[in-house]
Structure 1
Amino acid sequence: MSSSRQHAPRVPAVRHGRLRRSSPWVTGAKIVAGALAVVLVSGASVGAYAVWDVVASSKPSVDLGKTPPPASIDEIKGGVNLLLVGSDSRQGQDPAIFGDPTKETGVLNDVTMLMHISEDHTAATVVSFPRDMFVPIPSCDKPEGGSYPAMASQKINTTLGYGGLPCTVKTVEALTGLDIPYAAEVQFSGVIELSNAVGGVEVCVAQGIADPYTGTYLDAGTHNLQGLAALQFLRTRHGVGDGSDLGRISNQQVFLSSLVRTLQDGKTLSDPTKLFSIAKAAVSNMTLSSSLNNVNTMVQIASALRNIPLSQIVFVQYPNVIVDKPGHNGVDPLPIPAKALFDALKADQHISLTGGTGLGSVVENPETPVDGTATPPATPGGEGGSGAPETPTTGGTETTPPASTDPSTPPAVIELPSSVTGQNAGEQTCSAGNKRK
């Protein structure tokens, strides 16, 4: 476990356990694009000023050497791969909340999420990579010139410190086999501002949460979280599941799924003032790749996402196994189920989860998901499982015929191995807190 940082007494220190905080990074990019799309099509002078104001608020971009921005605002052609990274840097953050930035010892990508939109825009998958997962890291360029050597095995959360956002992109590309032309980085303040702009996110807590490390104390029930409370909920590790960062990921997915449902709520999408606030909050707190730092591109991505049903917006955790040996405080990738997952994404097949929601969450009512679709019952590794998924001997199982070139033919659905946990946005899940009565 990494060492703790010192913070002002007002908020407990951020500790380097197995993951750390997260937030609507994935949905953040979607928020920006959706809001800008609404403002653009308004055609009013106020809308024109709003777009200018949002764009003027954006930070300098990062060059990934990827696809140039499109010229039109039509719906983007083909699929989309977008990496969202949550940085733990204190630079530019409120020192009263996050501590003295001059005492920062390094920058880590404590949250790494890959959003894949299918070619036909009928499904979106968000893959969370455990921060302490040991992976190969390719050679990455140093900001001051030269390059870092490639490493055979290092924690994925160190990539941002080695070579910035481009290094994290290169590492995830090598790990998944997917080309990633778009990327964004967000800090703590971005989570606070985004949750405020959307008016808070309702989360269900099945068992109470008591975490003195983040100051998160929630009784069982439903809570509307925004601002610092939302950030601390997303950061909590000790308060959910078995206290690991693997449990934290599934707890974050409870928040993200609810956030997606909030954004698809007509009251949010039909409120230009709220959408403008969301867009500005996201852009002003994100560092975007140059390929993404373009109004047209963001509008195109929003157009690709707008008609995807909740049941086909799926949040998954990269399959992994806990390795208990000296000097190896983390997890290793599980290559067989990972191959099943990414082969399905590359082929634009819809995925079905069989492994439960993960250690940090439970299904509130398996019989009645939010969007009315059937939800499979949780299996070991989901609701209170061991946290060390069983390694399958085969890949995913195809449950419908392969995709056809005929647009009227539904895409194939691949049933993933039980070691792949997660949920879709149509499922109502609750945080599995560790405060038992």
Structure 2
Amino acid sequence: MSAESTPEPGIRDTGANGPRRRAKGRRRKARGKRRKALLISAWTAAGVLVLGGTGAGYVYFKLNGNIKSVDIDQALGSDRPSKADNGSENILVLGSDTRSGSNKKLGGGTDDGSARSDTAMIVHVHEGHKKASVVSMPRDTLIDRPACTDTKGVTHPAVNGVMFNEAYSTGGAACTVKTVESLTGLRMDHYLEVDFAGFEKLIDELGGVRVTTTKDIKDPQSHLNLKAGKHRLTGQQALGLVRTRHGVGDGSDLGRIQLQQAFVKALVNQVKDIGVFTNPKKLLDLADTATKAVTTDSDLGSVNSLMDFAGGLKGISSSHMHMVTMPVRYDPTNPNRVIVAKTKAEQMWTALKNDRPIPASATKGTATGEAKGVVSTP
């Protein structure tokens, strides 16, 4: 665990080395007012100070070379929803479990190069960039996927009644964006994807994430074993938390989404309180890991573009992030699947198209899983 991960009193440091105690007489510095940011801005803003120092040219090209990007606009062409004209933006954020390389042992599959989108969120940044609405898309949702062309130029015919994450496993980023735009009528202005291995390493380099669990969570499939109480999660544990389905609640994807949303808020709350900006080596390591971990659309495919993008998000605190799940109901023919609650979903998409807050009526009475309130900030 990194130098910044010394646990606070009452917080379990649940890493491999077991509990640690702070030396007597050592006082924690008072925390100044934190400037909080969205998850993505934490990863990209790290490059700002690095690029201003000695060897900036080398560092710039090193970080720039790490970033993978895909040309969504070319793959999808002009048959897409219109861009908003008021400064609001929609960003599709995916967590992927590519079954190759260092992700093989994390995904639990074979090294066959296959991939799935394990997590999907639409981040709607409202006009003025002071607040955001975040909509989780359950991967077990049965949808009609439109015909799409992937970034290699291969066309995939439309199919009906498939799981949402089939779009990614079939046609990657471009087909996923096409599917989301078809479902919502919203233009996805940007695309950001994070893989398992990069996520785990990034959390470790951030010094872990502090959360409180109100129930024990034990899931052998995601290698997670947490007692109720305060914890500072390692990267492996954080990955286990955002992937667990069977450790808490009803074992559904909806329950997992509740944990993911709570984790994101916990991460946002502490991103600016990790001490990396006074440690150039830590800052460079963080920027290096972050740029290796993400795949972006081509408009964000450079360090400068990512920094500009991050700068526009850093004023959004967790208290100004409204996190919801796309309105769904259980499929009456298969309780392991959900289907879109179309009337309520349309309320949600209409509100975001008009840059308005999502009304409570859009999510009231929809399926939610049973993990709400299990994880929170300490």
Alignment counterpart, residue 89 of structure 1, candidates 94, 98, 121: 98
Task: Verify the 8 A CA contact 1:208 1:219 in the aligned structure 2.
Answer: yes
Task: Verify the 8 A CA contact 1:319 1:420 in the aligned structure 2.
Answer: yes
**Where does residue 308 of structure 2 map in the other structure?**
300
Q: Which amino acid aligns with 1:419?
A: T
d(CA) in 2 for partners of 1:340, 1:95: 40
Alignment counterpart, residue 245 of structure 1, candidates 229, 233, 253: 253
Q: Which amino acid aligns with 1:431?
A: V
Task: Verify the 8 A CA contact 1:110 1:157 in the aligned structure 2.
Answer: yes
Q: 1:262 to 1:49 in 2, by over 3 A?
A: farther
Task: Verify the 8 A CA contact 2:98 2:107 in the aligned structure 1.
Answer: no
1:259-298 to structure 2, matched below 5 A, reads 259-265=267-273, 267=275, 272-298=280-306
d(CA) in 2 for partners of 1:229, 1:218: 9
Residue 209 (1) aligns with residue 153 (2) = no
SS state at 1:283 partner: helix
**Uncovered stretches (5+) of structure 2, i.e. residues with no partner:** 1-36, 77-85
Deviation at 1:429, TM superposition (A): 5.1
Task: Verify the 8 A CA contact 2:124 2:134 in the aligned structure 1.
Answer: yes
Q: 1:319 to 1:99 in 2, by over 3 A?
A: closer
Q: 1:102 to 1:32 in 2, by over 3 A?
A: closer
Task: Verify the 8 A CA contact 1:84 1:114 in the aligned structure 2.
Answer: yes
Q: 1:419 to 1:97 in 2, by over 3 A?
A: closer
SS state at 1:101 partner: coil
Task: Verify the 8 A CA contact 1:36 1:298 in the aligned structure 2.
Answer: no
1:316-375 deviation per Cα after TM superposition (whole angstroms, max 9, x unaligned): 21111111315x7410011222222222222222346x5xxxxxxxxxxxxxxxxxxxxx
Deviation at 1:172, TM superposition (A): 0.5
Task: Verify the 8 A CA contact 1:79 1:120 in the aligned structure 2.
Answer: yes
Q: 1:308 to 1:116 in 2, by over 3 A?
A: same
Which deviates further from its counterpart, 243-252 or 114-123?
114-123
SS state at 2:73 partner: coil
Q: 1:261 to 1:101 in 2, by over 3 A?
A: same
**Where does residue 137 of structure 1 map in the other structure?**
145
- Greater helix share, structure number: 2
Q: 1:143 to 1:124 in 2, by over 3 A?
A: closer
Alignment counterpart, residue 337 of structure 1, candidates 340, 344, 351: 344
**Uncovered stretches (5+) of structure 1, i.e. residues with no partner:** 1-25, 68-76, 355-394, 397-415, 423-427, 433-437
Task: Verify the 8 A CA contact 1:317 1:420 in the aligned structure 2.
Answer: no
Residue 32 (1) aligns with residue 40 (2) = no
Residue 54 (1) aligns with residue 1 (2) = no
**Where does residue 375 of structure 2 map in the other structure?**
431
**Where does residue 80 of structure 1 map in the other structure?**
89
**Where does residue 14 of structure 2 map in the other structure?**
none
Q: Which amino acid aligns with 1:201?
A: V
d(CA) in 1 for partners of 2:278, 2:326: 35
**Where does residue 366 of structure 2 map in the other structure?**
419
Task: Verify the 8 A CA contact 1:127 1:315 in the aligned structure 2.
Answer: yes
Deviation at 1:35, TM superposition (A): 1.7
1:211-239 deviation per Cα after TM superposition (whole angstroms, max 9, x unaligned): 12222111110111122222112211100
**Where does residue 162 of structure 1 map in the other structure?**
170
SS state at 2:101 partner: coil
d(CA) in 1 for partners of 2:150, 2:297: 17
What's the TM-score once normalised by structure 2's chain length? 0.78
Q: Which amino acid aligns with 2:102?
A: Q
Q: Which amino acid aligns with 1:44?
A: G
1:45-88 deviation per Cα after TM superposition (whole angstroms, max 9, x unaligned): 245543332222223x2111179xxxxxxxxx812221122222
Q: Which amino acid aligns with 1:85?
A: L
Deviation at 1:301, TM superposition (A): 1.8
Residue 44 (1) aligns with residue 53 (2) = yes
Q: Which amino acid aligns with 1:340?
A: Q
SS state at 1:136 partner: strand
**Where does residue 186 of structure 1 map in the other structure?**
194
Task: Verify the 8 A CA contact 2:146 2:159 in the aligned structure 1.
Answer: yes
Deviation at 1:419, TM superposition (A): 3.5
Deviation at 1:205, TM superposition (A): 0.7
Q: 1:342 to 1:167 in 2, by over 3 A?
A: same
d(CA) in 1 for partners of 2:226, 2:237: 10
**Where does residue 20 of structure 2 map in the other structure?**
none
Which deviates further from its counterpart, 156-165 or 259-268?
259-268
Alignment counterpart, residue 240 of structure 2, candidates 223, 232, 247: 232
Task: Verify the 8 A CA contact 1:262 1:268 in the aligned structure 2.
Answer: no
Which structure has the higher relative contact order (CA within 8 Å, separation 6+)?
A: 2
Q: Alignment length, in residue pairs? A: 329
Task: Verify the 8 A CA contact 1:31 1:278 in the aligned structure 2.
Answer: no
d(CA) in 1 for partners of 2:357, 2:302: 29
**Where does residue 381 of structure 1 map in the other structure?**
none
d(CA) in 2 for partners of 1:270, 1:124: 29
**Where does residue 127 of structure 1 map in the other structure?**
135
Alignment counterpart, residue 174 of structure 1, candidates 173, 182, 185: 182
d(CA) in 2 for partners of 1:225, 1:34: 22
SS state at 1:174 partner: helix
Q: 1:158 to 1:300 in 2, by over 3 A?
A: same
What's the TM-score once normalised by structure 1's chain length? 0.68
Q: Which amino acid aligns with 2:349?
A: F
1:376-391 to structure 2, matched below 5 A, reads none
